[in-house]
């Protein structure tokens, strides 16, 4: 390792730490209930209230589908016909586990361009800092 190698490493670690500290940690007002926002390729499709236990299926015109298990205060993807199944491995999002998840309040299926976000009643993103 030479001198400038160390400089590169320090820049990377400082930038990472900054982003890590600024990451979303909680939904700002969960008192009015929380919702799952469904977006496909950046277009918002619907806002689903997270109340009772049920399953919904999101199917796109080209046959891509994801099956989502919704429960009180959270959701998870249980089945998808994508290549990598990353969205299933991302696990469940709940009001309480946002701060500990790599993708915070989101579950993302990259091949299907699907983004599911846990948001509060007014559709606001979680707070970015506390």
Partner 1 sequence: MIKTRRLALAAVLISIMLVLGYLESMLPVSPVPGIKLGLANSALIVSLYWLGIPVSFQIMLIKNVLLGLLLGNPMLIPYSIAGGILSLTVMSILYKRRGVSPIGVSIAGGVTHNIGQVLLAMIILSTPSLVFYLGLLMPAGAAMGFITGMIAKTLMRHFPPSRYLNRPTNQ
Nearest to 93 by CA among 84, 83, 102, 85: 102
| Residue reference for tokens 């299933």 | 88
Shortest Cβ 54–partner 1 spacing (Å): 25
Site for partner 1 in 36-95 (CB under 8 A): 39, 41-43, 83-86, 89-90
From 28-36, 46-54, 71-79, 108-116, give the range in contact with partner 1 by CB under 8 A.
108-116
Q: The tokens 């994801």 sit on which residue?
A: 66
- The answer to whether 127 contacts partner 1 (rule: CB under 8 A) is no
Write the binding mask 3 to 42 for partner 1: x where contact by CB under 8 A, - elsewhere: xxxx-xx--xx-xxxxxxxxxx--------------x-xx
| Least distance from partner 1 to the Cβ atom of residue 24, Å | 7
Cβ 118 to partner 1 shortest distance, Å:
12
Binding residues vs partner 1 (CB under 8 A): 1-6, 8-9, 12-13, 15-24, 39, 41-43, 83-86, 89-90, 102-104, 106, 108, 110-111, 113, 115, 125, 128
């Amino acid at each position: 390792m030479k001198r400038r190698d160390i400089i590169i490493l320090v820049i990377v670690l400082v930038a990472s730490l900054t982003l890590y500290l600024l990451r979303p940690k909680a939904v700002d007002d969960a008192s009015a209930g929380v919702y799952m926002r469904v977006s496909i390729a950046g277009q918002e499709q619907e806002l689903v209230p997270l109340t009772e236990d049920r399953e919904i299926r999101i199917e796109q015109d080209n046959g891509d589908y994801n099956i989502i298990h919704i429960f009180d205060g959270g959701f998870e993807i249980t089945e998808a016909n994508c290549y990598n199944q990353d969205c299933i491995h991302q696990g469940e999002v709940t009001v309480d586990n946002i701060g500990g998840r790599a993708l915070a309040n989101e579950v993302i299926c990259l091949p299907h361009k699907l983004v599911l976000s846990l948001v509060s009643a007014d559709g606001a993103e979680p707070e970015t800092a506390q």
